[in-house]
Amino acid sequence: MKGFGLFVKTLAANTARLNSLDVPSGRLTLVLGNESADLDSMVSSLALAYALSPALNTPPIPIINTNRSDMALRPESTLLLRTTLANDSFNALTFIDDFDLTRVVSYGHKYGLDVWLVDHNAPASRQVELEPFVRGIVDHHVDEGRCKQAERQIELVGSCATLVAERLRNTLGRVEPELAKMLVAPILIDTSELSSSARRATDKDIEMVSWLVPQVEWAWPSADQADQADNSSDEVESLDHVSSTHELYKILDKLKGKVSHLSARDLLRKDYKQWSVGSPVWTVGISSISYRLQKWIKRDSRKQIKKALEKWVEDQHLDIALVMTHGKAKQKGVKVYGRDLVVAFARSVDKEQQRHVLDGMRRSELLGLEPLFDEQDDGPVFFNQTRTESSRKQVFPAVKAVIESLSA
């Protein structure tokens, strides 16, 4: 198998390939991350494309499933990929708005198209035209039961990068230092540095980190390295200097949490997924925000958040929007990790359906919802989510089940 460095060099030709489909060039293979385009999704799409490449005549094309300009909202991903790919190769990545997906689908009907989904197991509601072409799935979310034709590896581990790392270990035995660093980072982020209290890391996550860490070329620690890890600045330009998993995690986690300067709209779209659920169909959108609700309310006020949510629901054509806020906030002088949940309905959803959905969510043991304010007849409903281990990976299936029960 050619090395990761040689595979990275093939990235430069990918966007041009997808924009030159007038000339048949054989069967295409895309590796598509999910539409939230978080660090795990980006890394997993790149690493899985590399893992698949030996079996194909032409290299598979990893797709970053967000617009190129939206990388400005993801400084932690930009820093990691610029460090491990080098600037030229980072700029050569293919983003979802770099080409016309409809043309790719048309090409696929004529000449062949295979799509591998990574970090999700069914195409997003806005990309359903890809469903007949899904050849394989590598994911760590609850199986939605679609794409039955696909080869699938779905395990509820903490990070999808864990499953891709396992695939590479089983086929290669070792990986290059840059790829090892790239893979270990999202596992640390998604499991809160393998924290037992976060209850996200599985034995397989721990096993893969143990396999990857010795392969990373860590910097020699300096005397003040520990202080640098906990007081890392936004101005970090490279991760070449990091000397431990703790320092790597602290730098990336701090960058990921730097969101207080973002507008309400940018907060809602930074880490966003959308689904079509039930019959009749509900359009469900869930935003995940690394910013505690009480800080957001203090900054913008509940009134302004309500206006922003109403506009978001309208612009995205949603029936229901959920906003999951999470992070540390002071309680009796001590910073404690917590979660909150805001639920907003479209005006077109009648009150009886709204009550049914909210009652079902309140009863869900996966969520552990407690009201934060007196509920009003209209507008968003604000909850504290006491089950802090339940991320979007657990919340969406719970909400999906409630919505589907409307037609039961």
pLDDT attached to residue 238: 85
pTM for the predicted model, two decimal places: 0.91
Give residue 323's identity as a one-letter amino acid code: V
* Tokens describing residue 95: 């983003």
Angle (CA) 106-110-116 rounded to 5° is 70
pLDDT attached to residue 117: 98
Residues of the chain with pLDDT under 70: 1, 222-235, 376-377
pLDDT attached to residue 375: 72
User: Over the range 108-130, which residues count as b (16 or more CB within 10 Å of their CB) and which as e?
Assistant: beeeebbbbbbbbbbbbbebeeb
pLDDT attached to residue 233: 47
pLDDT attached to residue 354: 96
pLDDT attached to residue 1: 66
Positive or negative, the CA dihedral 144, 146, 147, 150 is positive
Nearest Cα residue to 249 out of 179, 187, 196 = 187
DSSP per residue over 66-87, as a string?
A: S-GGGGGG-HHHHHHHHHHH-H
pLDDT attached to residue 38: 96
